[in-house]
Structure 1
Amino acid sequence: MIEYDPVIFSRILTGTTLAFHIIFATIGVGIPLMIALAEWIGIKRNDEHYLLLARRWARGFVITVAVGVVTGTAIGLQLSLLWPNFMQVAGHVISLPMFMETFAFFFEAIFLGIYLYTWDRFKKKIYHFYLLIPVAIGASASGFFITTVNSFMNTPRGFDINNGVLTNINPLAAMFNPATPTKVAHVLSSAYLTSAFVLAAIAAIALLRGRNHVYHKKALNLTMTVAAVFAISTALIGDLSGKFLAEYQPEKLAAAEWHFETTGEAPLILGGILTADKEVKYGLEIPYALSILAHGNPTAEVIGLEEFPEEDLPPFIIHYFFDLMVAIGMFLAAVSMVFIVMQRKKNWNEHNRPLLWAIFLGAPLAMLAIEMGWMFAEVGRQPWILVGLMRTAEGATTATHVDTMLYMFVLLYLVLSISVVTVLLKMFKSNPIEQELRDRGIE
C-alpha cells in the first residue's frame, strides 16, 4: 500500500485534473476558430454545406464547454486547497491573468449563448457571424491568460523578495515574463492544430464508411487546410521554444535530450534507453541537431547536466515525452501537407483510404501530443513549482485526506467522460447529417 504523502497525492490529483481538463481546454480554444471559418466561407460563397458545418460543430462544442467548466472549476479549487503556499505568492503577483481568464470565459459564454439562440434570426447572415467573433476571441484569450500563469511558474518575474516579504509587485511584468511569448504561441497554435484534426477525423471516418456526400469532403478540405497551416506554425514555434529553454532552463533541455556533458556540435537523441551509468543505448542520434535547436548553430556549445546540482535536475523520463510530442507533430505535418499536395494535383485522389486512415489516426495522436507537451512542461519543471524560488514540496498542503479527494475526483472524471461521449453520440446519431441535409433541401 502506498504510504500517505500529501505532496505525492497532491501532485497526482493535480496532474490527473490537468490531463483531463486539457482535452476540453484544447477543444475550447480551437473549435470556435473552425466554426468561424466554416460560417465565414458559407456566407461568402453562399454555400449551405459550410453553414451547416458551422451549425453542427457548434452543437457539439457546447457539450465540451459544459464539461470544461466543471474541470476548470476543479482546477481552481485544487490550487487553493492543495497548493496554499504557492497561491499565497501567486495571489499577490499573478492574480491579474487568473481574473482575466475568468472574465474571458464569461465573455465567450455570453456571446456563445446569443450565437446559438439567433441562428436563422437575421436577414443578413453576416450579422450572425459577427456574434461568433467575441466567442473566438474569448476562447483564445482564455487560453492566453491561463498560459501566462504557467509561464510565470517557469520564469517568475514582477516582484522582489526582501526578508521573505514580496515587494515591488508588477502584475504586467509577471504576466509578460520571458516564457510568455513562446508558451502562449505554442499552446494556441497546437490547440488550433489539434481541433482541426479532431474535426477532420469525423469527416474522414464518414468517408471511410462510404458516406461520400460532398458535405464530408468540404469538411475535410477545410479542416486539413487549417491543420497544414498550424502544423507548420507549431513546428516553427517549437524551434523557438527550444532556444528559450537553452537560455532560461538549460537543465530542462539537457534532461529532455539526455545531454550530460557540456559540448559543442551536440547531437539530438531520439528514443533509446538510459542505463544506470548514464549511457544511452539504442537511441537514434542526429548529429548537430541539439546545437541547432538550442542556438541555431551546428557548432554551438550546449550546456550539459553536469553543470547543475543533482537535486535540481528534472526527471529523465521527460525525454520520452519530448520525443513523442515531436514525432507526432512531424506526423501531423506530413499528413496535412500530403493532403494539400494531393488536393492540388489533377487526377490525384486525396480521399484515398490510406490517407483517410492517417487523418483519422491523427486526431487521437494530436491529443496525445497535447498531453505529452503538458507533461513535458510540468514534469520538466520539477523539482520547482516556481523555478528557482519555491520547490514543489514547499508549495503543497500538509493536510490529510488528499488521497480521498483523489478517488472522488477520479470518479467524477469517469462519470463526465461517459456522459460527454454518450451525449455527443446520441446527439449526432439521432440527427445524422444526411437526414438534416434532406430536411433542409440541401443537395
Structure 2
Amino acid sequence: MLTDYDPIFYSRLLTSLTLAFHILFATIGVGIPFLIMVAHWVGIKKNDNHYLLLARRWARGFVITVAVGVVTGTAIGLQLNLLWPQFMSFAQQVIALPFFLETFAFFIEAIFLGIYLYTWDRFKSKVTHFLLLLPVVIGSSASALFITMVNAFMNTPHGFTFIDGQLTSIQPIAAMFSPAMPTKVAHVLSSAYLTSAFLLAMLSAVAILRGRTHVYHKKALHLTMTTAAIFAVSTAIIGDLSGKFLAEYQPEKLAAAEWHFETSTEAPLLIGGVLTEDNEVKYALKIPWALSILAHNDPYAEVTGLQEWPSELQPPLVVHYLFDGMIAIGIYLTIIAFAFVLFSRSKVMNQYNKLLLRCIIIGGPLALLAVELGWMFTEIGRQPWVVVGYMMTSEGATTAAHVDDMLLLFASLYLLLGITCLLVLYRMFSQYPVEQELKERGF
C-alpha cells in the first residue's frame, strides 16, 4: 500500500489505463476498414447489393469509433511527453520518424474515409468508389505498422551507439527495423483483423438468434467467420514465430511466461498452475517438450531459465497467466471459426444452430480480451525496462506532482467516451435497422 505520493506509480497506472482503453479502438480502427474493403469487393464481384450495404453500414459505425480513437490517441501523445519526459528525450533522437509517419498515415485514412462515406452512389463505376477505400485501409494498417515499430524498438533497441550516456551514430531507418519489428507488426495486424471479424460476426449472430433471418445477416456472418478462420491460422503461425523470437532476443520474457526457472533441455510447456514462494509450480498442466519445440523447433533443445538473470531484472511472473489467457482465447476462436466454416460446407450440420451462434457471440468480447492480454504481456514482460538494456522504467518517468489527479480526470473521460460511443452506436443502428434500409432500397 502506498503511503506517499509516487509519481512513477501513477504515471505507469495512467499510461496503462490510457493504452488499455485506446488499444480497443486502435484494434477496431485497423481491422474494420479491412472488413469493409472485403465486403465492398465481394459486393462488386458478385454484383450483390447485400454485401455493398454491409460495407456501407459498417463504415457508418466505424466513423464513431474513429472519433473516440482520435481522442484517446491524442491523450497518449500528451501523456508520453508529460509523464515520460526522459524516455521521449531518448526516443526523439532515435525513433521519432515512425511517430511522424503514423500521424501522416492517419491523415490519409481520415481524409479518404470522409470522401468514401460521402460519395456513395456518386460514381457510375462502383470500382471507382471502391478505390477510394484503399487509402483508408492502407492508412489504418500503416498507422499500426509505424506505432508498433516504436514498441518493437523499445523491446529490441537498434540503430544507435550509446557511449558514456550519449547517443551517437544514430540510424533512424535501422531503429525502425529492429529485430522485434517483423513478428510484432505481423501479430498486431493479423490479430486486429481476427478480432474485428469476430466482433462483426457477433453482431450478425445476435441478429439471427433474435429471429432476424434475412439473408443479409447470414451473408454477413459467413463473410466475417470465413475471414476469422483465415486470420486465426495466420495469427497462430505468427504466434509460433513470436515464441522463437523471444527465445532468441528476450529469453527472460519467455522464461517468465512459462515459469521456466532452470536452464534445461526437453523443457515442458506449463498451462495454468500456482506458484509457491520458493518458485515451485503446482497444479499446472505440463506438455512434455513443448517449450523446447516452441522456442527452437527441437524437442531436445535447451531453453534458458529465468535464474540466469538477477532478480531485479526478471519480469513479473504474473505474465504467465497473461500468456496462458491469450493462447487459450486464440485456440477457442480458431475452433469456433473453423467449426462454422466446416458446418457451412456440410449438408448434415447447421452452421446457424443456437449453440454455435452463442459461441460466436462469446468470441467477440473474448477476442477483445485477448488483445488486452497480449498488450499487457508485451508491456509487463518488458519490465523493469522502458527501453530494454538502456533505460529503466523508473528512469523514464516524471517526478512532477498531481499525476494522481490526472488519473482521475482521464479515467472519467474514458468512462464518458466509452458510454457515449456505445449509446451512439446502439441508437444509430437500432433506430434504423437493416431490414428497414433493405426495404427502402428495394433489396
TM beyond 0.5: yes
SS in 2 for 1:400: coil
Structure-2 residue corresponding to 1:403 = 404
**Structure 2 CA distance for aligned equivalents of residues 306 and 156 of structure 1:** 23
Structure-2 residue corresponding to 1:326 = 327
Match runs of 1:22-37 below 5 Å: 22-37=23-38
Structure-2 residue corresponding to 1:303 = 304
**Structure 1 CA distance for aligned equivalents of residues 42 and 413 of structure 2:** 39
1:277 shift after superposition? 1.1
Verify: 1:92 aligned to 2:90, yes or no: no
SS in 1 for 2:359: helix
1:163 shift after superposition? 2.1
**Structure 2 CA distance for aligned equivalents of residues 143 and 217 of structure 1:** 31
Structure-2 residue corresponding to 1:162 = 163
Structure-2 residue corresponding to 1:221 = 222
Structure-2 residue corresponding to 1:274 = 275
Return structure 1 stretches of 4+ with deviation > 2 angstroms: none
**Structure 1 CA distance for aligned equivalents of residues 432 and 372 of structure 2:** 32
Structure-2 residue corresponding to 1:75 = 76
Match runs of 1:230-249 below 5 Å: 230-249=231-250
1:164 shift after superposition? 1.5
Q: 1:363-420: CA deviations, max 9, x gaps?
A: 0000000000000000000000000110000000000100000000000000001110
Greater mean alpha carbon deviation, residues 61-70 or residues 340-349: 340-349
In the alignment, residue 368 of structure 1 is paired with which amino acid?
Answer: L
In the alignment, residue 409 of structure 2 is paired with which amino acid?
Answer: M
Structure-2 residue corresponding to 1:414 = 415
Verify: 1:110 aligned to 2:111, yes or no: yes
Structure-2 residue corresponding to 1:284 = 285
**Structure 2 CA distance for aligned equivalents of residues 300 and 109 of structure 1:** 49
In the alignment, residue 415 of structure 2 is paired with which amino acid?
Answer: L
In the alignment, residue 190 of structure 2 is paired with which amino acid?
Answer: S
1:47 shift after superposition? 0.4
Greater mean alpha carbon deviation, residues 385-394 or residues 161-170: 161-170
**Structure 1 CA distance for aligned equivalents of residues 265 and 162 of structure 2:** 37
Question: Aligned residues, how many?
Answer: 442
SS in 1 for 2:162: strand
Q: 1:409-437: CA deviations, max 9, x gaps?
A: 00000000111011001100110011111
Structure-1 residue corresponding to 2:128 = 127
1:80 shift after superposition? 0.2
Unaligned stretches of 5+ in structure 2?
Answer: none
**Structure 2 CA distance for aligned equivalents of residues 183 and 417 of structure 1:** 27
1:348 shift after superposition? 2.0
1:162 shift after superposition? 2.2
Greater mean alpha carbon deviation, residues 344-353 or residues 372-381: 344-353
**Structure 2 CA distance for aligned equivalents of residues 101 and 280 of structure 1:** 43
SS in 2 for 1:314: coil
Verify: 1:197 aligned to 2:198, yes or no: yes
**Structure 2 CA distance for aligned equivalents of residues 171 and 44 of structure 1:** 42
**Structure 2 CA distance for aligned equivalents of residues 439 and 16 of structure 1:** 43
Structure-2 residue corresponding to 1:180 = 181
In the alignment, residue 211 of structure 1 is paired with which amino acid?
Answer: R
Q: 1:303-327: CA deviations, max 9, x gaps?
A: 0011111100000000000000000
In the alignment, residue 424 of structure 1 is paired with which amino acid?
Answer: L
**Structure 2 CA distance for aligned equivalents of residues 218 and 243 of structure 1:** 38
1:44 shift after superposition? 1.1
Q: 1:314-347: CA deviations, max 9, x gaps?
A: 0000000000000000000000011111111123
SS in 1 for 2:132: helix
Structure-1 residue corresponding to 2:359 = 358
1:165 shift after superposition? 1.4
Match runs of 1:335-374 below 5 Å: 335-374=336-375
**Structure 2 CA distance for aligned equivalents of residues 109 and 347 of structure 1:** 46
SS in 1 for 2:157: coil
SS in 2 for 1:241: helix
**Structure 2 CA distance for aligned equivalents of residues 263 and 219 of structure 1:** 49
In the alignment, residue 130 of structure 1 is paired with which amino acid?
Answer: L
Structure-1 residue corresponding to 2:263 = 262
**Structure 1 CA distance for aligned equivalents of residues 265 and 6 of structure 2:** 42
Q: TM-score, normalised by structure 2?
A: 0.99
Unaligned stretches of 5+ in structure 1?
Answer: none
In the alignment, residue 72 of structure 2 is paired with which amino acid?
Answer: T
In the alignment, residue 69 of structure 1 is paired with which amino acid?
Answer: V
SS in 2 for 1:178: coil
In the alignment, residue 127 of structure 2 is paired with which amino acid?
Answer: I
In the alignment, residue 341 of structure 2 is paired with which amino acid?
Answer: I
1:4 shift after superposition? 1.2
Aligned Cα RMSD in Å?
A: 0.6
In the alignment, residue 243 of structure 1 is paired with which amino acid?
Answer: K
In the alignment, residue 254 of structure 2 is paired with which amino acid?
Answer: L
Verify: 1:149 aligned to 2:150, yes or no: yes
**Structure 2 CA distance for aligned equivalents of residues 188 and 41 of structure 1:** 21
Structure-2 residue corresponding to 1:48 = 49
**Structure 2 CA distance for aligned equivalents of residues 130 and 11 of structure 1:** 42
In the alignment, residue 387 of structure 1 is paired with which amino acid?
Answer: V
SS in 1 for 2:167: strand
1:161 shift after superposition? 1.4
**Structure 2 CA distance for aligned equivalents of residues 107 and 317 of structure 1:** 40
SS in 1 for 2:316: coil
Verify: 1:432 aligned to 2:423, yes or no: no
**Structure 1 CA distance for aligned equivalents of residues 339 and 163 of structure 2:** 57
**Structure 2 CA distance for aligned equivalents of residues 43 and 157 of structure 1:** 45
SS in 2 for 1:136: helix
In the alignment, residue 400 of structure 1 is paired with which amino acid?
Answer: A
Q: TM-score, normalised by structure 1?
A: 0.99
